[in-house]
Structure 1
Amino acid sequence: MQIVVRAAADHEVEAAAAVLSEAFAEDPVLAEIRPGRPGEDRTAVLGRLFSALVRSVPPHARALDVAVTGDRVVGAAFWQAPLPHRGGLRAFVSQVPELVRVLGIAGGLRALAHLRRMERARPDAPHWYLAEIGVSAAARGQGVGGMLLEHALDRVDQRGQHAYLESSTPDNRRLYRRHGFGDGAPITGFRAAAPVSMWRPAVT
């Protein structure tokens, strides 16, 4: 199947979030923040969460890329622009009710603790941050993740900027290394995961 990578339209946020929810359904860090509940449709719940997370960043301060075949979204990557984000507080506050509905109070507090740990590991130099990337089960093994990375990193390189992410698995780290990221320090404090920071300096 022919796959095209491009910027997502606003009406595709939910479709991109659905792909991310499928990709992260078994993620140990996410399971620590928002454990599954009996009888729930976990992918639907996580889809609401990812949609709220994307919309919690102002449109001018994010890049949501999608991989599509026909009119079907099969991959998504959510990037945040270098800080500071003008209007970021307003965008985040607008999504708080949905985040609380999905996470609950306890899950929200766990998520804040998780974000603080992640933020402490981020470099001081301004950078694009890859918050989430995922591919649907039907499209895995076809290089979609690499296509999404190349699309975004071309944009980053044209602007002469740095890029940063965290990775929890050796397989993913091999992919990121092929695209110019180097291993940084492990991020501690998680019970079921061992994410590693990864940095890609600006191309000069």
Structure 2
Amino acid sequence: MSTPQPTRPSVVPARRDQQAAAALVLAEAFEDDPVLAAFIDERGDRRHRIALLFLAMIRSAGARGRLDLAVDDDGTVLGAAVWEGPKHSGAGLSLGLTTTSMMVRALGARGVARALRYERVMGRHRPGIAHWYLGELGVAAAGRGRGIGTALLAHGLARADAEDAAAYLESSTPRNRRLYRRNGFVELAPIVGIDGAEPAAMWRPARSTTARTD
């Protein structure tokens, strides 16, 4: 008798009461990320502080962004993707500092200063064309190998395509870049100036632009 394969979770918009669960998933997924390592030190409960950072970013995004979740049949959040809409492209982390207390608890005062500096470095690579910006996409360990990252990305890109909008992201690992290239992204340039990391700026043209160049 064959073993039943787990079903792929549903991708749904997050409710406010699911934001903390999404932040925990992102903290698990990004705990070893080289960009985060540049401004989140090893003191105390590091994963808890990373979760605080993501929760602050999610809450500060508010109506200008989208938080998509991959949710199992029992309601468990297994993946999360944070997008910023075209009307706010370039807003970045600085607007997240409306949740200053949470940010300082997560990073410390020096960490906040470093994060803002790195945000400015990365912001210089953001194209001036309106686009959907994928800030974060992460999958919990319990959900890996089930196509959750691909499903979350496809959901967000379908939204961009429906608006005939481009998409942009920064990717800090070669493995993730392969996923993004398979979904139509191209690498623009390495982002230099971040201690211990060199993420890549990646761009996916609007659907109509792609059609004109095919």
Give the TM-score range, shorter chain: over 0.9
RMSD of equivalent CA atoms: 1.9
Deviations 1:47-102 (A, max 9, x none): 11100011112x221010000112100000001112438x9999635301111121
Task: Provide the secondary structure at the position in 1 that maps to 2:133.
Answer: strand
Q: Aligned letter for 1:65?
A: D
Q: Give yes or no for contact 1:128–1:162 (8 Å, CA) kept in 2.
A: yes
Q: In terms of Rg, which structure is larger? A: 2
Q: Give yes or no for contact 1:164–1:197 (8 Å, CA) kept in 2.
A: yes
Going from structure 1 to structure 2, the CA distance change for 1:114 and 1:93 (only over 3 Å counts) comes to closer
1:147 matched residue in structure 2: 151
Unaligned runs of 5+ in 1: none
The equivalent position to 1:64 in structure 2, one of 19, 43, 67, is: 67
Unaligned runs of 5+ in 2: 1-5, 209-214
1:136 matched residue in structure 2: 140
Q: Aligned letter for 1:19?
A: V
Distance 1:6 1:145 in 2: 13
For the pair 1:84 / 2:71, whether they are aligned, the reply is: no
1:18 matched residue in structure 2: 24
2:123 matched residue in structure 1: 119
Q: Give yes or no for contact 2:67–2:82 (8 Å, CA) kept in 1.
A: yes
Superposed, which structure 2 residues align to 1:1-204 within 5 Å?
Answer: 1-2=6-7, 3-37=9-43, 40-57=44-61, 59-69=62-72, 70-84=74-88, 92-204=96-208
Which is further off, 111-120 or 95-104? 95-104
Q: Give yes or no for contact 2:104–2:112 (8 Å, CA) kept in 1.
A: yes
Deviations 1:124-180 (A, max 9, x none): 001111111100011112111000000111111001111000111111111001111
Q: Aligned letter for 2:76?
A: R
Distance 1:146 1:88 in 2: 24
Q: Give yes or no for contact 1:64–1:77 (8 Å, CA) kept in 2.
A: yes
Distance 1:89 1:129 in 2: 12
Task: Report the alpha carbon displacement of residue 10 of structure 1 after superposing the two structures with TM.
Answer: 1.1
Task: Report the alpha carbon displacement of residue 122 of structure 1 after superposing the two structures with TM.
Answer: 0.5
Number of residue-to-residue matches in the alignment: 200
Distance 2:31 2:21 in 1: 15
